[in-house]
Structure formats: structure tokens, C-alpha cells
């Protein structure tokens, strides 16, 4: 499976123009959500080919990462004259690149696509690595395929359009990359100020973070082994994310729980899985507590109770890394010391959730 070409660009228009000239296509589709259509589309609208592209605009946020939205995109591609020789450009955050990549991968049995990530989360995670998909049946990324984009164009100028919450969301994946990388990278990340962002420094860190993911994906593009390192924090994180999604539009929602950004759930998942790493694989307690304090300071917490544990455990059993009903965790023996395919007993998982509930 070929890996995508990732271009770190200081001029997205010139880069996109060059990429489109290299790729042969009969019809160009441009997928955006309502936010990127307003905020990011004006940046690239003068690129050759974009003016004649069929523009498809979908609802913003992960709540629209659904089968219904996917069907709408397929329909518009068909009505727009799409063929197996067409090209899709996905301009947006992780929801857009995930759903757009899946739409392109399945339309006419697959057409090529280009990702232009516009959020920090999509730059360092969703747009790179070839995972595409949608949420289904209340579960995160339940339906999807592995399919590499032709090119990913990363221009960090888009980061200046983000609010604090979306910077934090993407930064959680960078923190994960630091934990699976080395102590120097982790130290740089854990000491970064997310309130007064140094965008020049952040741009350099984005490049380093993407390089970590590329190295892992190059070695294991289909997640049969070491790529599972990238799931650190995600077994619990996806459970938190799916759990919070259940409170959407509930009129009797008295607990104050609402759908959360992916990175927030991952940050909380990192705390949980680092605690489990301390218990099971010898991860240093002081580094775990340092990470937990960072997450508490910048991400707050999810107000779960003991009564929620069975639901969260059930959600963890649906994780795609599991085998024969056994929950598999990616844990660490230390920074950069990756231990995939780790298991835990129900009592250990509940103890981990106790720590999260009491410690954050």
C-alpha cells in the first residue's frame, strides 16, 4: 500500500496549483463544511481549476460524520458528472477529510483525493495515514476503509483561524506523538503554552508531529502491528467520545454532558491509559502525573460517575483493535517504549476510571 505525499507548505495556493497540474482528472470536486466554506475557501478560490470545481458543502462538526451526509456527498458527486477519472479535494478538519476520503474511496469503486487539512487535529492526525470513515450506530469511525490520499497539503496559516478549543483538540494528538516518540519531544510539548500560542513555534512542532506519524504509518500502513502505537489514549478516548455523544439533544440532560471534540476525549484517554501503563507496564508515575496535570489544566474533565462504568466498558469492547471480544490497549513502559496488544481485567479498568474520576 503506497503512502501519501505530505507537503508542508508556506503557500497553499501555489502548492495546490502544482498538485492539480500533476494529477489528471475530468471533473474536480471540492468538499467543505459550512465553516471552511466561509473561512478557508476564500484562501484557495483563485487557484486554477477551483473556480470550475463542483462544490459540496456539508454541515460542520463531528455530528455530521454520518451515513446520511455520506449519501448526500455521493449523490452530489453523481449529479455533478463524477466518473472514475474524477478527483476530490477535501478542505477542512478531520470530519471532512475522513468522510471525504471515504466518499472518494467508494464512489465508482474509488477515485483519487487530496486533503487540505485546516485544523490542528486534521494536520497532525486525521488527514495523514490513509484512514477514512464515518461514525455509525453510535460508534466512532465504525465504517471506513484504508485509502491513501494522493497528497496532503499542510499550511499552518489556517491555524490562526482556530479557536482555543480546536487548538487544544489537535494538540492532544501531538502530545500522544510525543509520548510514543522521545523524552525531548515530550518535554517540548508538555511545556507549551496553549493560551498564548506561539504560531511560529507551533508550525515547527506540527512538522515534527506529522513526521512521527509518517514514520509509524510507513512501517505499518494497515495497522497490523506497530501502527497500533498511534492508538495510545484512543481505546478509552473513543469510549468517552461515544459516551458524550449519547447526550446530544437530550431534553432531560441534567448532567451537563455534551458531545466533545475528539482531542479532548483523547487527552482524557491518555490520562487513563498512562495510569494503566503505570500499573501494568511500569510507566513512570511522575511522568503520568505530569501529563494528568497538563490535561487537567487545559482540558478539564468529563463528569462521569461510577454508574457510567458499565456503559464505558461496553463501548470499549467495540474498539476495532480488539480480538475475540478482548479489549486491547496500547500502553507504554516509558516515553517511546511502546507496548501494543495489552489487556486489562474489568477490575483494573474500573480502577483506571476511578483514578480519572477522582484525579481530574
**Which residues are catalytically annotated?**
109, 131, 173, 213, 223, 227, 231, 234, 238, 262
Nine-digit cell string for 314: 461496553
Which residue has cell 487539512?
117
Which candidate, 158, 21, 40, 22, places its Cα nearest to that of 30?
40
Residue 2: DSSP 8-state: P
Q: Give me the phi and psi of 222, to 5 degrees please.
A: -105, 15
Q: Are strands 113-117 and 87-92 parallel, antiparallel or unpaired?
A: parallel
Helices (H), the chain: 12-22, 34-39, 41-44, 67-79, 94-106, 120-121, 164-179, 183-190, 199-219, 234-245, 262-281, 285-299, 309-316, 346-359
Which candidate, 43, 232, 284, 12, places its Cα nearest to that of 123?
12
Residues 6+ apart with CB under 8 A from 47: 13, 16, 17, 20
Contact 116, 147 (CB under 8 A): no
* Alpha-carbon Rg for the chain in angstroms: 20
Residues 6+ apart with CB under 8 A from 351: 279
State the Cα–Cα distance between residues 270 and 93, nearest whole angstrom.
22
* 151, 152, 153, 155 alpha-carbon torsion, rounded to 10°: -170
Contact 252, 284 (CB under 8 A): no
State the Cα–Cα distance between residues 258 and 80, nearest whole angstrom.
37
User: Could you tell me how far CA 72 lies from the centroid of its own chain?
Assistant: 23
Residue 137: HSE in the Cβ half-sphere, 13 Å Cα cutoff:
4
Amino acid at each position: 500500500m503506497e503512502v501519501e505525499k505530505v507537503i508542508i507548505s508556506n503557500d497553499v495556493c501555489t502548492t495546490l496549483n502544482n498538485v492539480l497540474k500533476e494529477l489528471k482528472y475530468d471533473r474536480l470536486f471540492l468538499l467543505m463544511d459550512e465553516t471552511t466554506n466561509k473561512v478557508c475557501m476564500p484562501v484557495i478560490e483563485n487557484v486554477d481549476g477551483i473556480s470550475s470545481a463542483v462544490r459540496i458543502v456539508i454541515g460542520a462538526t463531528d455530528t455530521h460524520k454520518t451515513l446520511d451526509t455520506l449519501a448526500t456527498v455521493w449523490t452530489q458527486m453523481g449529479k455533478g458528472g463524477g466518473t472514475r477519472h474524477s478527483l476530490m479535494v477535501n478542505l477542512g478538519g478531520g470530519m471532512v477529510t475522513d468522510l471525504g476520503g471515504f466518499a472518494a474511496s467508494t464512489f465508482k469503486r474509488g477515485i483519487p483525493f487530496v486533503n487540505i487539512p485546516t485544523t490542528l487535529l486534521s494536520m497532525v492526525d486525521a488527514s495523514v495515514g490513509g484512514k477514512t470513515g464515518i461514525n455509525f450506530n453510535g460508534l466512532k469511525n465504525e465504517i471506513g476503509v484504508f485509502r491513501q490520499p494522493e497528497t496532503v497539503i499542510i499550511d499552518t496559516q489556517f491555524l490562526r483561524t482556530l479557536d482555543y478549543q480546536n487548538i487544544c483538540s489537535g494538540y492532544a494528538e501531538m502530545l500522544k506523538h510525543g509520548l510514543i516518540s522521545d523524552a525531548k519531544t515530550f518535554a517540548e510539548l508538555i511545556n507549551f503554552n496553549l493560551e498564548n500560542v506561539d504560531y511560529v513555534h507551533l508550525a515547527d512542532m506540527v512538522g515534527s508531529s506529522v513526521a512521527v506519524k509518517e514514520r509509524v504509518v510507513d512501517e505499518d500502513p494497515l495497522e497490523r502491528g506497530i501502527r497500533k502505537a498511534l492508538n495510545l489514549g484512543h481505546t478509552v478516548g473513543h469510549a468517552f467520545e461515544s459516551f458524550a455523544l449519547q447526550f446530544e439533544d437530550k431534553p432531560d440532560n441534567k448532567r451537563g454532558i455534551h458531545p466533545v471534540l475528539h482531542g479532548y476525549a483523547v487527552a482524557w484517554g491518555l490520562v487513563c491509559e498512562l495510569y494503566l501503563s503505570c500499573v501494568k507496564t511500569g510507566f513512570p508515575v511522575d511522568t503520568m502525573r505530569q501529563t494528568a496535570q497538563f490535561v487537567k489544566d487545559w482540558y478539564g474533565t468529563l463528569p462521569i460517575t461510577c454508574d457510567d462504568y458499565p456503559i464505558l466498558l461496553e463501548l470499549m469492547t467495540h474498539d476495532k483493535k480488539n480480538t475475540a471480544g478482548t479489549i486491547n490497549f496500547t500502553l507504554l513502559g516509558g516515553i517511546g517504549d511502546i507496548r501494543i496488544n495489552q489487556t486489562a481485567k474489568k477490575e483494573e479498568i474500573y480502577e483506571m476510571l476511578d483514578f480519572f474520576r477522582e484525579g481530574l
